[in-house]
Amino acid sequence: MSMRWMDERQRRNSTVGFSLSADILLLSSSNPNSLCYVETAELDGETNLKFKMGLRVTDEMLQEERQLAEFNALIECEEPNNRLDKFLGVMRWNQEQYPLELDNMLLRGCKVRNTEECHGLVIFAGSADTKIMRNGGKTRFKRTKIDELMNYMVYTIFALLILVAAGLAIGHTYWYEEIGSKAWYLYDGKDQGASYRGFLSFWGYIIVLNTMVPISLYVSVEVIRLGQSKFINWDLQMYFAEKDTPAKARTTTLNEQLGQIEYIFSDKTGTLTQNIMAFKKCTISGRSYGDPTTAEGVSLDRGRPVDWNWNRYADKKFQFMDNYLVAHVRSKKDRDAMEFFKLLSLCHTVMVENKDGELIYQAASPDEGALVTAARNFGFVFLSRTQDTITIREMDQETTYEMLALLDFNSDRKRMSIILKFPDGRIRLYCKGADTVIYERLAANSRHKETTQTALDVFANETLRTLCLCYKDISAEEYEAWSRKHKDAQLTLTNRDAALDQVYEQIENNLMLIGATAIEDKLQDGVPETIAKLAKADIKIWVLTGDKKETAENIGYSCSLLTDDMQIHYGEDVNEKLSSRQANRRNEPQTVHQRKKKPAEPFFTQPGKNALIITGGWLNEILYEKKKKRRRLRLRRLGRRSPPSSPQDGQPMNDLEKEMRQIDFVDMACECEAVICCRVTPKQKANVVSLVKKYKKAVTLSIGDGANDVNMIKTADIGVGISGQEGMQAVMSSDYAFAQFRYLQRLLLVHGRWSYIRMCKFLRYFFFKNFAFTLVHFWYSFFSGYSSQVAYEDWFITLYNLCYSSLPVLLVGLLDQDVNDRLSLKFPKLYLPGQQGTLFNYKNFFISLFHGIFVSLIIFFIPYGAFLQTMGQDGEAPSDYQSFAVVTASSLIFTVNLQISLDTSYWTFVNCFAVLGSIAIYFGIMFDIHSAGIHVIFPSVFTFTGAASNALRQPYLWLTIILTVGISLLPVICIQFLHKTIWPSVGDKVQRNRKKYEMELEEEEKKKPSAFQRGRRSRRSAYAFSHSRGYADLISSGRSIRRRPTARGGPQDSIREVPH
């Protein structure tokens, strides 16, 4: 796009920072050489500051408003896309071309820090083109599986209502032709045919039987959900006191879905971890440090943190338990220990800012920041740097070293080095890196290899991120020879990185080992225990993170998601297996695809657990999501490109093949115990979630804490936001929110399970009581000429769902629990019925239907048989319609209220009051509306005058009610007894031994909780693998070092280092 000066000029508080609302090309800033620090937590979840740089030409030429106003350039760049890690473009200005990269871009969602003023050119704006918005998803209306099932059941009931009404209408037509029209005493004075009377009867029965369609069900369900949401909000065990953050149910419509989760998709940084790196342990000259000790070296079970008051530069937040190492360093007797911390203070790419006498470090990686901070506390303080010098304070002495070369880290080298010239003229190389690459480059006479290796194994087993430190003394002649090769490699135009790596290899050899560091990426409290407990509940956890593969793998081990007995498969293995399956499918005869789909063969045939670790790049490759591949498919659909007759370099031949590839990937991933997707964009996170939802029909939950997790949270059936260090975007987009990952187990295994059980029990009972109530009219119609006459009194029909049967079932839906919260957490297997959907489905619905039919038969026909040829105590026959209505209604009220009593697992005073109160309210209202006084006031409304008192004074009718209720409940009691004794569920077994298990829990709480045991396998924990590329290019160029003059003029006034 071509544009004259369109600027987004920001002047804000430099400490607080400001967020950007567009993708902007950085032109210049108030910092030296247009350096701009940004926080990208909303994009990738990382809270450490990163730097962006303007082009040199724009920095020199666009500093004043007049220059900005005259700026006129043509920008050619890639189309809008969702790649957060890539930008390609060219700026054409003054007959010159300048390449544009991601380092020159300030993306929407970034927060600018430590920059008073910056000028930029808007490249992409609006809600459609910016990269973060391209990663956004549509807001989806979420509904539970029970909601969908309930809607289908209501449709079924409505269809059943129409069929029953139609059948009764046909019955009335035939009855009128055969009987009604011939009985003179039934003549109503209306000249209407049998068919027309049948038509009227149909609509009459639609009205009479309308209580089959549970209209009040939806209101009751929402009341129960509201109450369950309040219980989540009020749960003090999900309250995080440190930040005064309670759990929050931000929706009231998804509670029971929490009891059906099968897959959890979790972010890593800030969700599983605290995003805080801490220097925990180290080994120097074969001796390990970091465990609690006194200053004399005596080991302690529980020590006190080191007092740093002796060091005015110390970071008071830094905690270290080994007092002996501090005393050892301060004594200056151990040269290796001094060299160890000197290396940490010199070999890095950290930038430092002195603000009001306080040193503020800006590191490209939080790991590196933790190491420099550790050196600072031990008395080796990094003070400042220029392009070719670095100054530190060694205990009480300030020393400046000349920096001859900085060999920066990259993911292939897995190490970084710095070559320094000491004040006394010596030249020394310091190197730090992964043990796998350092040990290959150690000198034959290097000491402490074995003891350091043992310490590394111990650190790795504790899932600490390790790093080896070493040095090498270089002669002046050797350095001069190497320096010439280095400069030649820097000037190479093709394969410069490879040439530099080759030159680095020539100097990074024959190293002398000093020791190793161990850094802890702090997990949130309770994460391993939570993951282990959710795994026992058969919930699979996938980690979707934008972090590096090695970092994600380390965290997978530390949080017990990955274990030593798992076989790990990476992207290359996955792609090979999927390609093989696809090739076999292509080679199969065409008729095979036309046959009934056979179940797919498993990908992993060998016994044992499997885990999958895959990067975003491989994910695109596997799912055919690369841009060129998408374009080919689109052109084929438009008919502009014919499908290939044979596969070309792994391309899908059609949409069906792409879909089959996705199904294969999901099947393979679901065979694994754990899946970790790293280096994935927000859109890829959402795509993975949607694939599992689409092909597994599973209930999914996504949990994250940053803006880069919003799309994933919206896509999943349940979205959970953690209020962490990355803002509130995830919380604002979530359905549930709390402060710590460990609360997830309580949300699912307690609140989710209870909500599901309560809702299922409520629905089963609600359908039953409505069928039992309504179908009495159906049986009565066979004795009333199918005339749409009701079997009960009108006021009973009106108040049945409102007063007589609503409160007990509502309280069951709100308060019932089969076992308490502690036992729910102790036995995660109790969660399985929710995943399997066994407590409420069409089978349960038809059981409730037939149960209601059975009870309605009993309630109608036993009183009907009892009323035949019956004489009361007073010599009068009580077999009138009104007495019959009173007896059936009373039997129904007793039956449904005692039935909910049998279904109640958790009794409280409120439940007892509700059941007894409902029966009492029924009799109280019935005697009132059957009284003579109210009949006198409203004679046409209350017509059952004296019916209740007349019928219920007959002992024979009370015996009829008792018999009816007993026969109605007896089969239920027998079935429940058989189920709990012969076929008990896990819940029944826990209930039976509840007191025993509660005593065990009390004993466990009294005992001291054992520390979490890490894995025992010796594996490399790779700090260096996860360490991101540093600021070496920036430092070497000198662009961040020189101060900009106070009065900024044209390009001739800019101070720059001339490149050698």
Contacting residues for 726 by C-beta, under 8 A, at least 6 apart: 41, 42, 45, 47, 270, 705, 706, 707
Helix, strand, coil in percent for the chain, rounding step 5: 50, 20, 35
| Cβ contact 521:1026 at 8 Å | no
* C-alpha separations of 323 from 292, 327, 328, 664 in Å: 7, 6, 9, 56
d(CA 804, CA 785): 29
| Cβ contact 687:624 at 8 Å | no
d(CA 375, CA 1029): 21
Cα four-point dihedral sign 695, 699, 701, 707: positive
Give SS3 for 872.
coil
d(CA 101, CA 592): 50
Please list the residues that pair with 488 across neighbouring strands.
none
Of these residues, 23, 267, 521, 705, which one is catalytic? 267
For 705-738, b where at least 16 C-beta lie within 10 A, e where not — what string?
A: bbbbbbbbbbbbbbbbbbbbebbebbbebbbbbb
Name residue, tokens 């210049």.
28
Contacting residues for 999 by C-beta, under 8 A, at least 6 apart: none
Contacting residues for 147 by C-beta, under 8 A, at least 6 apart: 253
Instruction: With residue 324 as reference, give the H or E element that holds it.
Output: helix 323-331
193 φψ region: left (φ > 0), alpha (ψ -120 to 50), beta (else): beta
Name residue, tokens 């590096």.
548
Q: H helices of 401-448, where? A: 435-438
Other Cβ atoms closer than 10 A to 597:
7
HSE-CB at 163 with a 13 A cutoff on CA atoms is: 6
d(CA 1043, CA 1052): 15
Q: Which of 498, 594, 615 is nearest to 547 (CA)?
A: 615
Other Cβ atoms closer than 10 A to 293:
19
Q: What is the DSSP letter of 557?
A: H
d(CA 541, CA 534): 8
Q: Which of 434, 439, 443, 438 is nearest to 473 (CA)?
A: 443
Please list the residues that pair with 721 across neighbouring strands.
704, 737
Q: Is 267 marked active-site?
A: yes
| Cβ contact 367:548 at 8 Å | no
CA gyration radius, the chain: 38
| Cβ contact 729:42 at 8 Å | yes
In single-letter form, the type of residue at position 143 comes to: R
Name the strands in the sheet holding 2-4, side by side, starting at the edge strand that comes first in the sequence.
2-4, 72-77, 89-93, 96-100
Name the strands in the sheet holding 10-11, side by side, starting at the edge strand that comes first in the sequence.
10-11, 117-124, 23-29, 105-106
| Cβ contact 355:297 at 8 Å | no
Instruction: With residue 421 as reference, give the H or E element that holds it.
Output: strand 415-421
Q: Which positions are catalytic?
A: 267
